[in-house]
Structure 1
Amino acid sequence: MDFLLYLALVPTLGVTAQWLAWRTKLPSILLLLLFGICLGHFVVQPDALLANLTGGDETAGPNLLFPLVSLSVAVIMFEGGLTLKLSELRESGSSSLRLCTVGAALAFIGNTLAIHWILGFDWHLSFLLGAILVVTGPTVIGPLLRQVKPSRRVASTLKWEGIVIDPIGAVLAVLVFEEVVLAQSAPHWSGALQSLVLTSAIGVGLGVAGGALLTQALRRYWVPDHLHGVAALSLALLLFALSNMMAHESGLIAVTVLGIWLTNQKHFDVEHIIELKENLRTLLIGCLFIVLGSRVNLTDLATIGMPGIGLILALIFIVRPLSVYLSLLRSPLNYREQTFIAGLAPRGIVAAAVSSVFALSMESRTDLNIPGSEQLATVTFLVIIGTVAVYGIAASPLARLLKLAEETSRGVLIAGADAWVRDFATELNAAGIPVLLVDTNYNKISQARIAGLRGECANILNEHAREDLDLSGIGRLLAMTPNDEVNSLALRECRAMFESSRLYQLTFKTKNAAGRRGLTKNLMGRELFGEGLTFTRLSEMHAAGASLKTTKLTESYSFADFQETYGEVTTVLCAITAEGGLNINTVDAPLVPVAGQTILALVSSTPVPEKHAVKASKKRSDASNDGAADADTSRERAKEAGNEEPTS
């Protein structure tokens, strides 16, 4: 195969595997590994390809590959650090600390014993592989958490453990390699402790120094905006390389600390930096697993046989539960939460990369004679495939069994709580759709709570307020405030919480829909309900007497019958399927209700003028309850401009 074609094929297969994982709800890492193994088995292995290009030099592949793998892992760990908010430690700090210390030590011991007794490996190799398999990793934990959506405390604990445990496991593996494998004797614990302290100090010190330097550079505008992302990336790679030169594998600590520092400082926004790293991480994860998977020999996997399966079962059902339950004894987490954490520990890219590096190191050392050392990387990949497959398939059912996650995210988060919005939310709630209203007007939220709705008096644009929202069971955002600018900005701020296909807002007012003084369509999410149905229009219809009506369609009573009964002056807002799913009517995908669905429509007896329709809106019964909020709405109707101040 041509090397250029191989380089193009790797990212293509990586993206294809992740797309298939999204469509089939399977773990993406599992598909990536399978694609990589098939590429190496049926097409070509990267080592053989590079050896052919260099005239038969068998070391060319590993010598070129593993520095690139190490830098890619550094980028992934940096991006993982950027997701760690110190505020999350209020809920999960104690549990995460226990898992990364006591839990890691117990896992190391359990892994070592299982490897020695089941695979029959030498104690030196068992210690090394046991240290490598301590790690879990954000590359596998993150996608599973997004798929399962467990409770916030559990998700925060697993996320912190998955990211922090990677550098800990890598450093532990280095200490074991230097003190046990290379020395070929019992470990010198005093020397190992000194190495641990030195490695940790170098990694943390360089990470903090780099974070402080970059913070000063960006807050003083020494770096232009278009270079923020690449400057942060370049600094992370430089710190990783320098730190590793000073102490092996301390670079993972440095880049993780750098990410944590940047995301928790308050001097500038790092959202654009995070966005760049997220896209890069997705590409790198796909490429790394494809390339490393293509180096795995299926024959080598088969030679491990039943002992390999026994090892996977022991790690999943004995080592992980014991390490979790013992380390979390008397922790704030309850038994159900501990059980779910005990049932989720897939291995990821760090385990694959570290094991491959150590395997290469032992192959190059002629003075080492450790039986089974050639199987180090193979066993690691077998564990990765086995744990990802088991945990990926079992995580969702386990979360539902333990009642830690909603079966589906049918609920909606609504920005805005005006009178007609509250009536809409009430109908959804009565139909079994979870609803959470967010508004800055306390009177509106009070009315929502009186009506039996969940409501939070908060600003949807406030990052800290969004983080405190309980979004369990919530899968959509509907921006329905009177302010178009607030609606658009709310959708942009919530892109990390919801997919773009699940971000909705009311159509722009006339003045915002056209003209240079208005807003452009690219700032809009999916337009709700229909053309011309602005907040003002819907509010006037509601004030003029239009009512929200929920109707079950059957074979004998179709949507055409419904329209004939209530006339053409009806606006279908959404439909609830027989299975309880929610379909929202939008301009880009108008609903066609069918038998078996329950439709929610705004029914009006007579047409309402689009502009300045009714001053009678003040006769609504809750005008007196909304106080200043209704004054804002009145100004909206009078001016059709209405964008005076954010209300949500």
Structure 2
Amino acid sequence: MHDNLILAVAIIGVLGIGAQWLAWRFQAPAIVLMSVAGLFVGPFWAWMFGHPLLNPSEVFATGGVDAHGKAISSLLGPIISLAVAVILFEGGLNLRFHELRESGKAVMRLIFIGTPIAWGLGTLAAHYAAGLSWPVAILFAGILVVTGPTVIMPLLRQSKLGGKVGSTLKWEGIVNDPVGALLAVVVYEALRVLNAGENPLYAAGWIFVAAVMAGCLGVAFGYGLVHMFRRGWAPEYLKAPILLSGVIACYSLAEMIEHETGLVAVTVFGMALANARFASLQEVRKFKENIAVLLISGVFVILTADLTPQDIASAFNFPTFAFLFCMLFIVRPISAGLTTLGALKPKESALIGWIAPRGIVAVAISGFFAERMVADGYEDASRLTTLAFAMAITTVVLHGFTIKPIARWLGLVRVNRPGTLIVGSTPWSVGFAKCLSDAGADVILADSNFGRLRGARQANLDRFYGEVVSEGAELQLDHSKFDSVVAVSANDPYNALVCSHFGPELGRNHAFQLASQDLEEDNPRAINLAARGQTLGGRGRTYDALIRDTYRGWTFSKTTLTEGFTLENLKAKRPDADLLAELRPDGSMVFLGPSRSAKGGVGVTVISFGPETAVTEPETKDGADEAEAENADTSSTENEALPEAKKAGLLSRIKNPKSTGERSSL
């Protein structure tokens, strides 16, 4: 038993994290790969060899198993309960009230009008189509109002769907993530007290009081930890363990008040932390990214591996298909599509009425309540995990393959307009971003330091404040606005990390970083070429060199080439300039470097960085050529974020670094 338990935990961990890694590596939905992994070692292995490789009910059983292989008494319930508690705490961390207010009328309608409609229509579909009893149907429909943000975000990136539609889908998933669990808690508690023969009014009153008490407990834990962290009563290395212990303690205390109110408590706990302004919030998010991902992976593998071949066979029947049809083509279009009419354009509402992928949270919570409902005498609740699994896989696959062509057909996808994410806000990158933006490209300037973004704010550039390689950026950063990334911070290893992070998503040929001095010197301790992005600009044009030239007065220029003013003319007039990018008439943008020289051509706009000299047209032989040359766009972009006095002072230090005892490494 002991050895089996250790082996089972090892298999669950390897399969869960392995599936997450494969999902990242191949840009595939994680829920699909985790489902395949769990099904393979569970029901598929049992079908092939007569016994599953991993049977969670048997491994975690403490009182034997019944004739169907299900545990009579098991540790599986408490394990899933704690994991779901952490998952809901993570969902609460994503719910910030100021972002809900800013998310727009469409999201508010989806939450406050669409959710009750979806709950009601989903209950009818679960009862009449899937054949579930009314109590189980009401609970299950409440769970399915969620649309998982962990599933919708990859779909939005894949389809390049941004704007109001992308924002609405994203925030609906974030806000609704804990709502389904809360609805299920309310329904389950109501059924439990009614089955106990208690007075309905008394039962409703007690449920309300218990929920309020659990919510207050969550608020107390949240603001208590905020106060503790602000006062410095905990070192940095203990914050994550304290937080995890706090989630478990909060859940346990709320469960002592009333069963299943612990889910309410931990959700409110996360919301309290998310809406409290304190410096250690980033550490909280690191906790969420590490622990929650591990638990989500483990729970999903456990739930799918615990299915039997009979469960899988029962999923492929007419009631299941009828239920899926009703949820996809009746419930969602009415509850979301019609609800957002007036707040969005009809074609935008139509797309939102179709896209509603269910994720890991819906499946995990369904499995959590299925066990409890069966124990309370609702035998048909055993189908909840299978139905939730079928709903999740169907929506992820179907919506994943259709979102892009439908969005393109409706004209909701950005086309023929290049976009880039520039990571690292400096005087040089602000000027570069401003020049690209003036040339017609979508540009987002990102930095994790709010002060360094001052130049971007003054230049009125689109910007992102936060860490671009964090999981929070998956939700906050609009990936539809860029198809390339340029890392230009002062930290070369960090630039390589950014390129490695976005490379699988955008393509390695669309990830760029500045030249490295260590690389130029063939330093064996330098970052391997395979781990870096492609070099932007010329060889030796490192961060220090570019910043030095910025303070020397070099400027950015965008020059549109014509038949009378070619690339050769531009190079002749600006021989010392760095040619950084070409924006071509077909809407594409190419960043230039040692292995990607400029090609030029009529209508191509070249972005260059060089000494502040006027770019004049060449002498022409006839009036037609002269008129054409005069049409060349040769505007320059200076760095407005640098006060002249500061620029002069820094320039003097660069020219004479020894006079101040400082090294010129700006």
- Please state which band the TM-score falls in when normalised by the shorter chain: 0.7 to 0.9
Please name the residue that 1:235 is paired with: 246
SS of match in other structure, 2:147: coil
Aligned to 1:4: 6
State how far apart, in whole Å, the 1-side matches of 2:429 and 2:237 are.
43
1:159-558 pair list within 5 angstroms: 159-180=170-191, 183=194, 190=201, 193-304=204-315, 305-325=317-337, 327-328=339-340, 332-365=343-376, 368=377, 372-406=380-414, 410-414=418-422, 422=431, 426=435, 430=439, 433-436=441-444, 455-456=460-461, 473-474=481-482, 478=486, 484=490, 506=514, 528-534=536-542, 537-538=545-546, 540=549
Contact kept? 2:97, 2:275, Cα under 8 Å: yes
Residues 155 and 470 of structure 1: is their aligned pair in 2 closer, same or farther, counting only changes over 3 Å? Answer: closer
Letter matched to residue 73 of structure 1 = V
Cα deviation, 1:406-464, whole Å, max 9, x if unaligned, reads 3699512446686897478646864x642356998999988x7xxxxxx439896899x
Change (3 A) 1:413 1:22: closer
What is the CA-CA distance between 1:292 and the residue it aligns to? 0.9
Deviation of the 1:109 alpha carbon: 1.6
Aligned residues: 596
Structure 2 residue 90 is matched with structure 1 residue 79: yes
Deviation at 1:286, TM superposition (A): 2.0
8 Å Cα contact 1:46/1:61 also seen in 2: no
Cα distance, 1:525 vs structure 2? 8.9
Q: For 1:393, what is the secondary structure of its paired residue?
A: helix
What is the deviation of 1:145? 4.5
Cα displacement (A) at 1:218: 0.9
Q: Equivalents in 2 of 1:251, 1:408: separation in Å?
A: 50
Q: CA deviation at 1:603?
A: 9.0
- Report the alpha carbon displacement of residue 208 of structure 1 after superposing the two structures with TM: 0.9
What's the offset of the Cα at 1:240?
1.7
Q: Is the 8 A contact 2:517 2:542 kept in 1?
A: yes
User: Per-residue displacement from partner, 1:96-134 (whole Å, max 9, x unpaired)?
Assistant: 454334322222221121122223333333333333333
Aligned: 1:591 with 2:604: no
The structure-2 alpha-carbon separation of the partners of 1:294 and 1:596, relative to structure 1 and needing over 3 Å to count, comes to farther
Instruction: Kindly state the Cα deviation for residue 537 of structure 1 after the two structures are TM-superposed.
Output: 3.8
Q: Which residue of 1 aligns with 2:617?
A: none
Hey, what's the Cα distance between the residues in 1 that align with 2:253 and 2:87? 17
Counterpart in the other structure of 1:637: 651
Which segments of 5 or more consecutive residues in structure 2 lack a partner in the other structure? Answer: 46-51, 612-633
Distance 1:131 1:627 in 2: 52
Query: Are residues 546 and 386 of structure 1, via their aligned partners in 2, closer, same or farther at CA, if it must alter by over 3 Å?
Result: closer
The 1:89/1:633 distance shift into structure 2, 3 A limit, reads same
Rounded to whole Å, the distance in 2 between the matches of 1:469 and 1:424 is: 17
Could you list the per-position Cα deviations for residues 335-383 of structure 1 after superposition, in whole angstroms to 9, with x for gaps in the alignment? 4443343323333333323332333334445xx3x56444233222222
Residues 1:122 and 2:136 are matched in the alignment: no
Indicate conservation of the 8 Å contact 2:38/2:300, yes or no.
yes
User: Which one of the candidate residues 60, 66, 72 is aligned to 2:77?
Assistant: 66
Quote the offset at 1:628 in angstroms. 5.5
Cα separation, 1, equivalents of 2:482 and 2:180 = 35
Gaps of 5+ in 1: 449-454, 514-519, 606-619
- 1:437 touches 1:456 (CA, 8 Å); kept in 2? yes
C-alpha displacement of 1:195: 4.7
The secondary structure found in structure 2 opposite 1:74 is helix
- Tell me how far apart the structure 2 counterparts of residues 255 and 419 of structure 1 sit (CA, whole Å): 45
Rounded Cα–Cα distance in structure 1 between residues aligned with 2:428 and 2:60: 71
SS in structure 2 at match of 1:412? strand
Helix, strand or coil: the match of 1:63? coil
In structure 2, do the counterparts of structure 1 residues 412 and 66 end up closer, same or farther at CA, with 3 Å as the change threshold?
Answer: same
Partner Cα distance (2:271, 2:415) in 1: 32
Q: 1:48 to 1:626 in 2, by over 3 A?
A: closer
Distance 1:469 1:132 in 2: 27
> Cα distance, 1:472 vs. partner?
5.2
Residues in 1 aligned to 2:132 and 2:104: alpha-carbon distance in whole angstroms: 36
Residue 136 of structure 1 deviates from its aligned partner by 3.2
1:203-259 residue CA offsets vs partner (Å, 9 max, x unmatched): 321111111111111111111111112212211221122223323332222222222
TM-score, normalised to structure 1, is 0.73
- Structure 1 CA distance for aligned equivalents of residues 600 and 7 of structure 2: 51
- Compare 240-249 and 93-102 and name the one that shifted more: 93-102
Report if aligned partners of 1:346, 1:387 keep a CA contact under 8 Å in 2.
yes
Q: Which residue of 2 aligns with 1:516?
A: none
Partner residue in 2 for 1:573: 580
| CA–CA distance in structure 2, aligned partners of residues 185 and 336 of structure 1 | 49
